[in-house]
Structure 1
Amino acid sequence: MGGTNPSDLSESRSERHLLAPPQHLAGPGGLGHVDSFGPLQSIRDGTTLVSKNGMFEFGFFSLGSSKKRYVGIWYTNIPVQTVVWVANRCDPINDSSGLLTINGTGNLVLLYQNKSVIWSTNLPKHVKKPLVQILDSGNLVVRDEEDVNLEAYLWESFDYPSNTFLAGMKSGWDFRKGLNRQLSAWRNWDDPCPADFTLAIEFDAERQASPESYIWKGGKKIHRSAPWNGPGTSGVPELRPNQLFNYYLVYNEYEAYYMFDTRNNSVITIIVMNQTTSTGQRLTWIEAEKRWQLYTSKPRDLCDYYGLCGGNGNCIIGENPVCQCLKGFKPKSEEKWNLMDWSDGCKRNTPLDCKDKNKDGFVKFLDFKMPDAAYSIGNRSMNLKECREKCLSNCSCMAYANSDIEGKGSGCIMWFGDLIDIRKVSSGGQVLYVRMPASELGESGSMVRAVIVVAGIGGVSGMLLLGYFSRTTSKDRNRKTRVEEEKLELPSFDLSTIITATNNFSSNNKVGQGGFGPVYKGRLADGQEIAVKRLSISSGQGIEELKNELILIAKLQHRNLVKLIGCCIQGEEKLLVYEYMPNKSLDFFIFDENKAKLLEWGKRFKIICGIARGLLYLHQDSRLRIIHRDLKTSNVLLDHEMNPKISDFGLARTFGGDQIEGKTNRVVGTYGYMAPEYVSNGRFSIKSDVFSFGMTVLEIVSGKRCTSFSRQKEDLTLTGYAWTLMQQGMATELRDSCLRDSDHNLLEVLRCIHVGLLCVQQRAADRPSMSSVVVMLSSDCHVLPYPNRPAYFMETESPQRCPTSNLTGPVSVSDVEAR
């Protein structure tokens, strides 16, 4: 794994599946500071070998508070003990009677109580003068002292990786030795036995298919590197040499492997398979801060997850939704596709006619990560023209490309059946030629020009965009004009009717107080219960905000959005009439010690998912793209079945077409829930709503207000506390105290915390879209990317202290507490 954007990762328990708790292991006396031993020597528990450069140490160790003893290799001078290789991964010794010695055949043997063999090497031949040595690279080797070639190793630990990949190691195949070097995660931070999370190089030599790197979770692929096509892989530009690392992708008759080394010997970096987060992580050691820092991880984003968009589906980060059908294809299941379930993929608009190959041609797609090579055949001697003709001659051939882009377009690779796991990339991509029937090739009837734009989901979304552009005839038509031209088609109540229904706005009927005025419960003559929002004369919400809310919410129809029944504008009175929510707002429950007990985890999870679906509707499925701008627990109302309904659209903004963000000089909303880019410079987008959602999720899980939370000892905010707990492998400690003794789905709790932290990342681009959030919440088998350090980590970074000097206009902020 490579990467270019280091994120701040402090020492954490979640890493301690490889970073065990600090413990001094070097034993007194014995061999002292030596790097090797021979047949007449041994290593007892308490003595170690140390590499000549002092970097690595080999011997016995324990993990955590356990007394079980393992044999392995770790960094000598890194205070956060970092174990990089373990011999007896699943066979620990229960006491200190372990002994490492060399037997009569020259093999290194681990004995228990001086008789039982726990682990041993397997040399290819008997050796009279074997030498066991720990090298400066961290490689433990067995060699023949009589061999003048000091690198003629008979056995080496690098051939049998644990969960950690070091510089100079090879991941992949050695055909001469019959070795396939794979990484496998530890079960947890104190159990190094292999888990079901692995990294392996795979290929089919008979088909001449290019090697590819896969990450597996159990029997399921969760990430794929893309085929090797020279010194790199298509769609993975970070595997090109850079200022820090050299990368090597080698494929010949003897070997197929990946390797890296550092250009600066002072750089300490490792790749580790993390079972907890289901990611492969590159970590670098920050000596000045005495901690490991996350450099990059795989999968790195939503499109990095294997086959997310199904067959013939193209994943494009930044699109909404991220999955699009290739040009000439359409969703196999429109219903699933619209529900963000893309697993069925896409089918052709027009089937191929194999009776006449001359009727088919190819569409050229630029900047693609190549499809899974498991469904391909290669031929390194063919040129691209020959490759095209070969593909046309076989009706099952769906696409072709150069197999080696570095050779100025040499070699041929052809794919058969559906194209799996493709994505559009910004750099490092390749040209893919996809077979099409004549009807999809345009007027030329042959190969069409390069295609960058892909087919959208169509249907309702397309009609909504068409309706928007038909109304907006010029860029100069401003929002105010469009608002005034809208027809509300909303019932208008007489003021006398509302006065009667609310008992003349009696204080006994008052159920809430918002930033723009009080809310009253009422009952109409037919018995219908209503909630009346009475805009105060002195409130900041004038006629513009009122029209805005009326127009928006009157035309929104979704089970997780509050329903507007009517309005009343008479004299100084401006009233909005809503359906009544008998259970008030979400904050009424979760921040009250006694009422919080009424919200057991199942109800909280249902509320989180409901809010997510409501926001998804606003961002994607409503007539216009709507940004709420003030999502928080007090603006989530609960009906009689505790179903959540998003309310208060007075600050919402609408976008049309492909617009996804805007900028304002008047920042409005609630501190604590506002995204950092909105607070600092007035930029708002669908990702600022995502930030507010993430903060709301953390509040629902914890029962703590983000605006008043403080960990005095660490000076942490709610986001900082949640992220730190996750790093330490203690995320469940974030749960509301009333949930900790109850029987509920801990995996759901952890998933919600993880999703919440993904949503509150500092950079808007790093946050997922709401379509991705809905998918992540609804699928317990979906592997989540690892979140970067969140915004507002410390109290000194809290939004209340964020500077606003770069704003050119007035700053308007609603009350910190519930509105």
Structure 2
Amino acid sequence: MKSQQILMLMIYTTFFCFMSTSSHQDTVTITPNHSIQYHDTLVSSAGTFEAGFFDFGNSSRQYFGIWYKSISPRTIVWVANRNAPVQNSTAVLKLTHQGDLVILDGRVWSSSNSSKIEVKPVMQLLDSGNLVVKDGESSENLLWQSFDYPGDTFLPGMKLKSDFVTGPYQYLTSWRDNEDPAEGEFSYKIDTRGFPQQVTTSGTTISYSTGPWNGYLFSGVSWDRMHRFLNFSLEFTNKGVSYGYETLKSSVLTITMLKLNPRGGTERSLWSNKKQSWDIVNTHPIDQCEYFAACGVNSICNSDDLPICECLQGFTSKFQAKWDPHDWSAGCVRRTKLSCDNGDWFKNYTGIKLPETSSSWFNRSLSLEECETLCLRNCSCTAYTNLDIRDGGSGCLLWFDGIVDMRTHTNRGQEIYIRLPFSERDQRRNKRDLNRKRLAGILVGLLALIIGLTILLWATSKSIKGMKLPKPVVKKAISWKHMMEKEEDSLPTIFDFSTIDVATNHFSNRNKLGEGGFGTVHKGTLINGQEIAVKRLSKTSRQGTEEFKNEVKLMATLQHRNLVKLLGCSIQQDEKLLIYEFMPNRSLDYFIFDTMQGKLLDWTKRLEIIEGIARGLMYLHQDSRLKIIHRDIKTSNILLDNNMIPKISDFGLARIFGGDQAEEKTNRVMGTYGYMSPEYAVHGSFSTKSDVFSFGVIVIEIISGRKNRGFRDPHHHFLNLLGHAWRLWIEERPLELIHDILDDSAALSVEILRCIQVGLLCVQQNPENRPNISSVVLMLNGEKLLPKPSQPGFYIGEDNKADTGSSKQYESCSVNEVSMSSLGAR
């Protein structure tokens, strides 16, 4: 080794004597007759990337790296000598005649990839950010490439590979800190035990897991707007695994990257040419459920519920006597052992991120029915599902022993079948029958009451004919009868389950419009040709019988242009179905969080949507016969019809207030973090001002094209979208919030600025400071002067990081080809 260093130093000394003394120069190709000094750079052909020496303000620590050429501040994507910085600015990078890259400064860093055959090495920086050494300038024969030695950045075209034959295992490694690129504590890799899954580890301990590959992406990864520009792929054979992504050719030029930060989190960023800054569009982890095994074994995590952890059906907390609602590390155990014969059955969970797969087995050719049969034959098998969800599903994936790291996943969640003993089926059936009988009894009693009152009113009207009654009495009788007739007319149609089953093609995946914590939504077509949307509540839905009845009752009596219309319901065969008018343009989040779809919504249309939502809320709060608090206003609950008219939907959590009632409290906080007001999320207090807060969040999201939840201010990472908007407001730069695709011309700036101010007024920390919704409608129409907003809820500024307890409490609450013939865990 010492002789090698001396030889390299001799090469360096000889070369340095003949080296040009000219200043900075950019080159596109390096041969053994050239080198890169401290002030020289290597540039890709289109000028996208640049490579050279850099430092962090300390000349005693020099690195050779790659960065985006035209982006400021400098964004480093790869470092050669990350663990061995050079000591001074006389360093030089040279390509040897054997195809090695070496850095000389008194010490030697080498790519250590010497070719044993005669080559004509050429080094180039490609426009993908890949630094390559080729055998000849026009050759495709790569002798070495930087993509084979990842740092902390995952670029399009790069692959994370594991070779089962030769052994190389490629993965990202975090920097030690933001100014020290040495290998840090965390790694981002593909776990090849069992079926492949992506994990982030701290040493050998898993910190986060995305679940197994499902044919499109990893099961726990959200299908956010970036996936409409990117194509993800995983190649898995008996020789190895390769995972990567590419920018879709049909999309506009997109500069994007994924970074593993020094704290172990991942950030996917998109470069905004308009703002000349990076937009962080996706981060992990976004909540407590993303931490590996947050709820222990045999449990499910749901960040929208409190507590977030719950034992799977048939399981109970392992240490009930010592149970701590904030510590689920012990997990859950079965109430009854499996019988390991034909008596076991499977409970279906939908809309979830699949459990971790280190102890799993898989087969690509088996059907789902064959998968179930295979699992029943092995007493250690505890769950099964399709291996690949494309084209209706295929293949078989089996789990053994405990179920670990399963969570609800409303955005493209999957199905899994958990094995339970026969006794759990009986308990489930008894409880189901009891609930069905109760619901049937309530509906029969309600129907009898309506019929009885109708007969009574008819008899009363007959008996008063010809009688001279005081006018006030006659008017009262007529008014009551009219109201009952109106109420009876508004009762929803009771559909037969078989009718809806046929209309939705037996609830096929091809008819699925979406899914959430409640269950799934399918498109259907009735015999008369009418298109419908069917909300099918899952067995594990947080929206139980009470919420179902609540939604039916409310939607049957509420009629407004900006509310979705309920056509009917069905409660047969242990199914709870709600049948709505079909909204062909899906929901608002489908448009505003997607750059391509967002182009269909210009500012005029976005303003119309904002105003329509406000009018719908005003009807609920003060114009309808009932005073309704929705409690779950969010972009996914705003549906759009053919003309992009917004309609508020999903009234399962809504509450009716008395005429003079201002507020109510609950111990069961339900809703969606990111849209919940502080007083509701922390104290369980809700009112019309809670809906106003949620509306304000939507306004800011519509203007910015970003989600409040999961957003991090690029310069102040502790700020969410509301905090980011507030910071821009107080710094008198509010128009920087505008979505890239919106026109910010002077003619529109006044309207947009007004909407930003209205949004900030609606999300103020103190509910008393927020306007009521009728004032909001006037503000949006320019008929009311706007007061100055105060800081928003959950805001923690640089001078206010130790803010109110409510902010802290909220953060604690909120914190996406080989077949095996033997059946055993791999």
Quick one: structure 1 residues 48 and 792, their matched pair in 2 at CA, closer, same or farther if it must change by over 3 Å? closer
- What's the counterpart of residue 789 of structure 1? 724
In structure 2, distance between residues paired with 1:325 and 1:345: 8
- What's the counterpart of residue 298 of structure 1? 284
Q: TM-score, normalised by structure 2?
A: 0.53
Alpha-carbon deviations, 1:286-328, whole Å to 9, x = none? Answer: 2222211111111233322211111111112311222121122
Contact 2:97-2:121 within 8 A present in 1 as well: no
Quick one: structure 1 residues 140 and 380, their matched pair in 2 at CA, closer, same or farther if it must change by over 3 Å? same
Are 2:38 and 1:45 equivalent residues in the alignment?
A: yes
1:260-409 map, 5 Å: 260-263=245-248, 264=251, 266-276=253-263, 278-334=264-320, 337-354=323-340, 357-406=341-390, 408-409=392-393
Matched letter for residue 348 of structure 1: R
1:217-256 map, 5 Å: 217-238=202-223, 242-256=227-241
Contact 2:81-2:109 within 8 A present in 1 as well: yes
Deviation at 1:29, TM superposition (A): 4.2
Quick one: structure 1 residues 35 and 686, their matched pair in 2 at CA, closer, same or farther if it must change by over 3 Å? same
Deviation at 1:273, TM superposition (A): 0.8
Matched letter for residue 230 of structure 2: F
- What's the counterpart of residue 112 of structure 1? 105
Which runs of 5 or more structure 2 residues have no equivalent in the other structure?
Answer: 1-19, 433-506, 508-518, 520-536, 548-552, 555-653, 656-660, 698-707, 733-755, 763-769, 779-786, 792-803, 805-826
Contact 1:85-1:161 within 8 A present in 2 as well: yes
Contact 1:70-1:86 within 8 A present in 2 as well: yes
Q: Secondary structure at the match of 1:46?
A: coil
In structure 1, distance between residues paired with 2:310 and 2:372: 25
Q: Secondary structure at the match of 2:370?
A: helix
CA-atom RMSD in angstroms: 4.7
Identity across the alignment (%): 33
Q: TM-score, normalised by structure 1?
A: 0.54
1:118-133 map, 5 Å: 118-123=109-114, 125-133=116-124
Deviation at 1:210, TM superposition (A): 1.9
Deviates more, 1:182-191 or 1:62-71: 62-71
Instruction: Choose the corresponding residue for 2:49, options 35, 38, 56.
Output: 56
Deviation at 1:240, TM superposition (A): 9.7
Quick one: structure 1 residues 651 and 90, their matched pair in 2 at CA, closer, same or farther if it must change by over 3 Å? farther
Q: Secondary structure at the match of 2:372?
A: helix
Quick one: structure 1 residues 123 and 177, their matched pair in 2 at CA, closer, same or farther if it must change by over 3 Å? farther
Aligned residues: 504
Q: Secondary structure at the match of 2:89?
A: coil
In structure 1, distance between residues paired with 2:790 and 2:108: 66
Quick one: structure 1 residues 166 and 127, their matched pair in 2 at CA, closer, same or farther if it must change by over 3 Å? farther
Deviation at 1:793, TM superposition (A): 5.5
- What's the counterpart of residue 802 of structure 1? 761
In structure 1, distance between residues paired with 2:33 and 2:775: 81
Alpha-carbon deviations, 1:4-37, whole Å to 9, x = none? Answer: xxxxxxxxxxxxxxxxxxxxxxx99478332111
Deviation at 1:89, TM superposition (A): 0.3
Contact 2:304-2:671 within 8 A present in 1 as well: no
Matched letter for residue 729 of structure 2: M
- What's the counterpart of residue 607 of structure 1? none
Alpha-carbon deviations, 1:462-481, whole Å to 9, x = none? Answer: 9xx99x9xxxxx99xxxxxx
In structure 1, distance between residues paired with 2:373 and 2:317: 29
- What's the counterpart of residue 127 of structure 2? 136
Deviation at 1:121, TM superposition (A): 3.6
Contact 2:115-2:143 within 8 A present in 1 as well: yes
Deviation at 1:141, TM superposition (A): 0.7
Instruction: Choose the corresponding residue for 1:95, options 88, 95, 100.
Output: 88
Instruction: Choose the corresponding residue for 2:62, options 65, 69, 84.
Output: 69
Contact 1:326-1:454 within 8 A present in 2 as well: no
Deviation at 1:366, TM superposition (A): 1.8
1:328-727 map, 5 Å: 328-334=314-320, 337-354=323-340, 357-406=341-390, 408-442=392-426, 452-454=538-540, 653-655=664-666, 682-684=688-690
Structure with greater helix share of residues: 2
- What's the counterpart of residue 198 of structure 2? 213
Which runs of 5 or more structure 1 residues have no equivalent in the other structure?
Answer: 1-26, 457-461, 469-473, 476-624, 627-649, 662-668, 692-719, 732-753, 763-787
Contact 1:232-1:240 within 8 A present in 2 as well: no
Contact 2:98-2:115 within 8 A present in 1 as well: no
Q: Secondary structure at the match of 1:307?
A: coil
Deviation at 1:66, TM superposition (A): 5.0
- What's the counterpart of residue 564 of structure 1? none
Matched letter for residue 129 of structure 1: K
In structure 2, distance between residues paired with 1:270 and 1:251: 23
Quick one: structure 1 residues 50 and 153, their matched pair in 2 at CA, closer, same or farther if it must change by over 3 Å? same
Contact 2:666-2:685 within 8 A present in 1 as well: no
Quick one: structure 1 residues 315 and 293, their matched pair in 2 at CA, closer, same or farther if it must change by over 3 Å? same
Quick one: structure 1 residues 318 and 800, their matched pair in 2 at CA, closer, same or farther if it must change by over 3 Å? closer
Deviation at 1:242, TM superposition (A): 4.2
In structure 2, distance between residues paired with 1:361 and 1:244: 41
In structure 1, distance between residues paired with 2:253 and 2:686: 38
- What's the counterpart of residue 782 of structure 1? none
Deviation at 1:159, TM superposition (A): 0.6
- What's the counterpart of residue 242 of structure 2? 257
Q: Secondary structure at the match of 2:724?
A: coil
Matched letter for residue 44 of structure 1: Q
